[in-house]
């Protein structure tokens, strides 16, 4: 049974990845005053009376065409690459992003004893640590790709990506410490469990209590996922394609999916940590019932928030230009890191005072 | 040397130094664009509006009575800078078309090589009969060089009929019959 759950989750996740690509293409074209993909039509479904035209217009069949294109392209391997690492890199890039979803709670249900339980593949106490640890492995894929390509631009892309990842990892880790100081208060049974963080936000979301943590975490998240304001790994304006310059066909497709897998994971984590997970609205009790329908509603509400965050990622990408490399470094080390330390100290004192005077 | 004036810049406020208000206003702008209507023309299905004096593919036109206007004077052939036009003049058969017999000449063959044509419109400008017009056709393609040469039949098919203000030859005939040949 766990295998079935895992397969189901992977399929949903990969589906979300491909539709994030579509969302990126559609939102970018809308922001640029274009229309975006609207021609791909699948026989039968695409020819339903009104629905077919609507789905075609929204480009809902486009991910199928994109995926098939990647699959059927000729596999070109440049002669000068280090073959073993060259093939390994896309796998190393995608695997961590897919692994982290094991500890990602995406809803809740009420079990037979009336206790609220998370819907998650593995409900472990160190959930956040696992996510931080494994998702950081994703940078190895990029570094490996840059190095194995044995070419200047991918190499520079890989070096930039690794420097950037290391810089923002620190600020990211420090930004979520106050979150766990708050949620795993003395006497809490949850520890670093992500479910506990969500349960602690039943009254008010953490973005209201700790806006600065949320801001630092969000900025670091953009950097960690290599999304546009911090698009150092790709920098297509000066590095051709960055780390994936020498990659084509399905191997490039894997990198592409990995990027969106990271975006979805990042969005989910931001929703869990700061936007109250599947909790309805701040200060409003959850309207979800105890039955199966309530469970589905909670999952749906969580997904809606994740979709909003994905949209926000895309929206941000097509609004801001890329930072220069030295600006990225100085923002990471000179601004975000001190700010995160200050935020940690401030929140520690605040939580201590709160605990002293209210409990 | 021109005088240069150094403008004092206002120091950035704290909010501006964080970039956040700028980012928010940028997000607002992009969101506004997202909601506004796109400017894309869905080309093969939607066609652009072609202005009246557009210089498209040159075509031969007929007058409202369906008669061909070209009298094969060959001025267009002469004026054509890239020598795209080739005309073989012919005579109008007086028995077949008695009411047009006085026009005397009509093209036997009229070819415009669209691989040579530069769409300059000099043929339209020079034509004394208002018989050749560069109309609104802007996309022309073919699979072979031969296909890109528009013959007389094709030119009339593309040109269709245009309104005529003068009916020059009808007037001429009427004047002749009224005894005033030099109308």
Which chain B residues in 12-41 lie under 8 Å from chain A, judged by CB atoms?
Answer: 23, 26-27, 29-31, 33-34, 36, 38-40
Query: What is the pLDDT, as a whole number, of residue A162?
Result: 83
Task: Give ∠ CA B16-B19-B20 in degrees, rounded to 5.
Answer: 100
CB contact under 8 A, B34 and A316: no
- Please say if the pLDDT value at position A241 is more than 80: no
Label residue A190 by pLDDT band (50, 70, 90). low
In this structure, the answer to whether residues A354 and A303 fall within a common structural domain is yes
In this structure, the answer to whether residues A218 and A294 fall within a common structural domain is yes
ipTM: 0.78
Which residues in A lie closer than 8 A to residue B27 (C-beta atoms)? 315-316, 319
Percent of chain A with pLDDT over 70: 98
Are B74 and B169 a contacting pair, CB within 8 Å? no
Average pLDDT of A201-214?
Answer: 82
Average pLDDT of A79-106?
Answer: 86
In this structure, the answer to whether residues A148 and A278 fall within a common structural domain is yes
- Map residue A141 onto helix, strand or coil: helix
Average confidence score pLDDT of chain A = 84
Which tens digit of pLDDT belongs to each residue from A125-160?
787 888 888 888 888 888 888 888 888 888 888 888
CB contact under 8 A, A34 and B40: yes
Q: Which of A27, A35, A315 lies nearest to residue B38, judging by beta carbons?
A: A35
Residue B150 backbone dihedrals phi, psi, to 5 degrees: -85, 120
Pick from A59, A343, A48: which is nearest to A174 by CA? A343
In this structure, the answer to whether residues A159 and A281 fall within a common structural domain is yes
| Radius of gyration in angstroms for the set of CA atoms belonging to chain B, rounded to a whole number | 29
Q: What is the largest CA-CA distance in chain B?
A: 95
In this structure, the answer to whether residues A35 and A167 fall within a common structural domain is no
Query: What is the pLDDT, as a whole number, of residue B163?
Result: 85
Q: Give how many domains chain A has, as a whole number.
A: 2
Instruction: Pick A46 or B65 by higher pLDDT.
Output: B65
What is the enclosing helix (H) or strand (E) of B14? helix B14-17
Location of structure tokens 């220069």: A324
Strands A116-118 and A108-110: antiparallel
Label residue B81 by pLDDT band (50, 70, 90). very high
Average pLDDT of B9-13?
Answer: 87
Which tens digit of pLDDT belongs to each residue from B16-51?
888 888 889 999 988 988 888 878 888 888 888 888
Query: What is the pLDDT, as a whole number, of residue A188?
Result: 67
Average pLDDT of B120-143?
Answer: 89
In this structure, the answer to whether residues A254 and A307 fall within a common structural domain is yes
Label residue B86 by pLDDT band (50, 70, 90). very high
Which tens digit of pLDDT belongs to each residue from A273-327?
888 888 877 777 777 777 778 888 888 888 999 999 999 999 988 888 888 888 8
Domains, chain B, ordered by start: 58-169 (3.30.70.3270)
Query: What is the pLDDT, as a whole number, of residue A97?
Result: 83
- Please say if the pLDDT value at position A26 is more than 70: yes
Pick from A219, A95, A214, A211: which is nearest to A169 by CA? A219
Are A47 and A41 a contacting pair, CB within 8 Å? yes
Residue at which a domain ends, from A25, A57, A72: A72
Average pLDDT of B110-120?
Answer: 91
In this structure, the answer to whether residues A54 and A129 fall within a common structural domain is no
Average pLDDT of A329-349?
Answer: 89
Segments in A47-105 forming alpha helices (H): 51-57, 62-72, 83-99
In this structure, the answer to whether residues A175 and A286 fall within a common structural domain is yes
CB contact under 8 A, B23 and A33: no
Query: What is the pLDDT, as a whole number, of residue B66?
Result: 83
Q: What span, in angstroms and rounded, lies between the C-alpha atoms of A265 and A271?
A: 10
CB contact under 8 A, B38 and A33: yes
Q: What span, in angstroms and rounded, lies between the C-alpha atoms of B121 and B133?
A: 8
Pick from A53, A63, A67: which is nearest to A25 by CA? A63
| CA distance readout (Å), A313 to A1, A130, A253, A256, A310 | 34, 23, 20, 15, 5
- In sequence order, the 6+-apart residues with CB closer than 8 A to the CB of A15 are none
Average pLDDT of A237-251?
Answer: 80
Buried b (16+ CB within 10 A) or exposed e, B106-120: bbeebbbbbeebeeb
Query: What is the pLDDT, as a whole number, of residue A324?
Result: 83
A182 is in which domain, residue-wise? 76-358
- Please say if the pLDDT value at position B100 is more than 60: yes
Chain A residues with CB-CB distance to B under 8 A? 27, 29-35, 315-316, 318-320
Residue at which a domain ends, from A41, A72, A103: A72
Query: What is the pLDDT, as a whole number, of residue A187?
Result: 64
What is the enclosing helix (H) or strand (E) of A133? helix A127-135
In this structure, the answer to whether residues A254 and A209 fall within a common structural domain is yes
In this structure, the answer to whether residues A36 and A155 fall within a common structural domain is no
In this structure, the answer to whether residues A248 and A220 fall within a common structural domain is yes
Residue B48 backbone dihedrals phi, psi, to 5 degrees: -70, 155
Label residue B112 by pLDDT band (50, 70, 90). very high
- Map residue A131 onto helix, strand or coil: helix
Location of structure tokens 């409003």: A284
Q: What span, in angstroms and rounded, lies between the C-alpha atoms of B105 and B71?
A: 5
Average pLDDT of A12-23?
Answer: 89
- Please say if the pLDDT value at position A22 is more than 80: yes
Residue A5 backbone dihedrals phi, psi, to 5 degrees: -60, -45
Residue at which a domain ends, from A17, A49, A72: A72
Q: Which of B30, B38, B39 lies nearest to residue A319, judging by beta carbons?
A: B30
Percent of chain A with pLDDT over 90: 4
- Please say if the pLDDT value at position B54 is more than 60: yes
In this structure, the answer to whether residues A5 and A56 fall within a common structural domain is yes
Residue A9 backbone dihedrals phi, psi, to 5 degrees: -65, -40
């Amino acid at each position: 049974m766990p295998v079935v759950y895992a397969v189901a989750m992977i399929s949903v996740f990969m589906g979300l990845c491909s539709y994030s690509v579509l969302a990126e293409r559609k939102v970018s074209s809308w922001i640029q005053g274009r229309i975006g993909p609207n021609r791909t039509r699948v026989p039968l479904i695409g020819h339903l009376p009104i629905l077919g035209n609507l789905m075609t217009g929204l480009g809902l069949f486009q991910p199928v065409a994109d995926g098939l294109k990647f699959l059927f392209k000729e596999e070109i391997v440049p002669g000068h690459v280090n073959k073993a690492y060259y093939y390994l890199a896309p796998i190393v890039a995608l695997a961590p992003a897919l692994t982290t979803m094991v500890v990602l709670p995406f809803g809740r249900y009420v079990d037979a004893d009336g206790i609220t339980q998370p819907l998650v593949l593995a409900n472990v106490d160190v959930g956040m640590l696992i996510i931080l640890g494994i998702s950081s492995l994703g940078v190895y894929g990029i570094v490996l790709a840059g190095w194995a390509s044995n070419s200047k631009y991918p190499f520079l892309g890989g070096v930039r990506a690794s420097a950037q990842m290391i810089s923002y990892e620190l600020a990211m880790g420090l930004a979520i410490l106050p979150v766990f100081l708050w949620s795993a208060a003395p006497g809490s049974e949850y520890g670093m469990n992500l479910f506990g963080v969500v349960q602690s936000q039943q009254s008010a979301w953490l973005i209201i209590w700790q806006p600065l943590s949320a801001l630092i975490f969000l900025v670091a998240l953009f950097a960690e996922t290599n999304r546009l304001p911090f698009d150092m790994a790709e920098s297509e304006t000066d590095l051709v394609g960055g780390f994936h310059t020498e990659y084509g066909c399905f191997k490039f497709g894997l990198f592409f999916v990995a990027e969106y897998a990271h975006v979805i994971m990042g969005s989910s984590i931001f929703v869990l940590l700061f936007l109250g997970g599947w909790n309805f609205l701040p200060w409003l009790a959850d309207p979800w019932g105890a039955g199966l329908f309530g469970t589905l509603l909670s999952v749906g509400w969580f997904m809606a928030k994740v979709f909003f965050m994905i949209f926000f990622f895309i929206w941000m990408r097509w609004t801001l230009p890329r930072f220069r490399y030295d600006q990225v470094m100085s923002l990471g080390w000179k601004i975000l890191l001190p700010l995160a330390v200050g935020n940690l100290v401030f929140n520690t004192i605040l939580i201590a005072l709160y605990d002293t005077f209210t409990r | 040397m021109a005088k240069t004036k150094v403008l004092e810049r206002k120091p950035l406020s704290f909010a501006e130094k964080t970039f956040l208000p700028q980012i928010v206003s940028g997000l607002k702008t992009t969101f506004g664009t997202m909601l506004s209507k796109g400017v894309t023309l869905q080309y093969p299905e939607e066609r652009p509006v072609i202005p009246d004096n557009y210089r498209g593919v040159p075509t031969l036109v007929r007058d409202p009575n369906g008669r061909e206007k070209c009298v094969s004077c060959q001025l267009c052939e002469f004026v054509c800078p890239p020598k795209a036009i080739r005309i073989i003049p012919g005579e109008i058969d007086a028995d077949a078309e008695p009411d047009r017999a006085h026009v005397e000449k009509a093209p036997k063959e009229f070819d415009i090589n669209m691989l040579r044509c530069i769409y300059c419109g000099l043929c339209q400008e020079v034509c004394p009969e208002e018989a050749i017009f560069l109309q609104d056709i802007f996309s022309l393609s073919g699979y072979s060089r031969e296909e890109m040469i528009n013959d007389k039949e094709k030119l009339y098919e593309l040109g269709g009929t245009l309104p005529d203000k003068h009916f020059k030859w009808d007037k001429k005939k009427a004047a002749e019959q009224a005894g005033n040949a030099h109308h």
